Amino acid sequence: MNQALLILGTPGVGKSKLAVSLGQRLDIESIDLGPLVKSKKLYKRYDTRTRSYVIHEGRVKTYLRGRLHENWVVIATHFIDQLIPPIRVKLAIVLRLDPIILSRRLKARGWTERKVWENTESELIDVCLEEAVRAFGKEKVVEIDTTKLTYRTVLSRAIAAVNLKRKTGRFRVDWLSKYDPIVLEKKLRWKNSTS
């Protein structure tokens, strides 16, 4: 049975680049779900408030089911909500990044202050990790903190996880032990408004 390798995480953590490299290394197709939704028109509408497309889950599921029917696939996304049946997921790699660095990256992309904070907060409270564990179970989820790693190290850790050279289901990133959400939000919003 063909399966999916998922590269998950908050926008800005490096999912797309890792998915492409992992696909090349493993000689399998890689899909970046965000651009795919736009190019194949797999959305319901464009949300002007969030400046993003609202995906049409049925169309995305159908498209991914077709790709998985033909091949193994690496999929980069931050959206997990039952797009792929858990039985078809071999491994979900959740990329993590220090919230302050993430906030700077998203701001550099020209995102609104609100959208930057929503995504920074999502990283801070482990949203993608929790959704992955809930959807696929701890045994299929591995977490990689990319904060202080070179890209080459992130790729080698991802390959090791795929090859089961590294035990999965162990979670170590805990941004809430490092940052108080209220203090961090004030700090980031103040920095954003003065830059």
Residues in CB range of 1: below 8 A, 6 or more apart: 88
Confidence class of residue 194 from pLDDT cuts 50, 70 and 90? very low
Residues in CB range of 69: below 8 A, 6 or more apart: 2
What are the sequence ranges of the domains in the chain?
4-194
Under a CB-based contact definition with an 8 Å cutoff, are residues 23 and 30 in contact?
A: yes
How high does pLDDT run on average in the chain? 88
Return the residue matching tokens 């992309």: 109
Task: Tell me which architecture the domain covering 4-194 has in CATH.
Answer: 3-Layer(aba) Sandwich (3.40)
Q: What is the pTM of this model?
A: 0.88
Is pLDDT above 50 for 192? no
Confidence class of residue 23 from pLDDT cuts 50, 70 and 90? very high
CB atoms within 10 A of CB 192: 17
CB atoms within 10 A of CB 5: 23
* Nearest partner of 18 among 178, 150, 189, judged by Cα: 150
Which pLDDT tens digit goes with each residue over 43-99?
Answer: 999 988 877 888 899 999 899 888 887 788 999 998 877 788 888 899 999 999 999
Is pLDDT above 50 for 195? no
Bridge partner residues of 92 (DSSP): 6, 141
Q: What's the pLDDT at 96?
A: 96
Helices (H), 44-180: 57-70, 99-108, 113-124, 127-136, 151-162
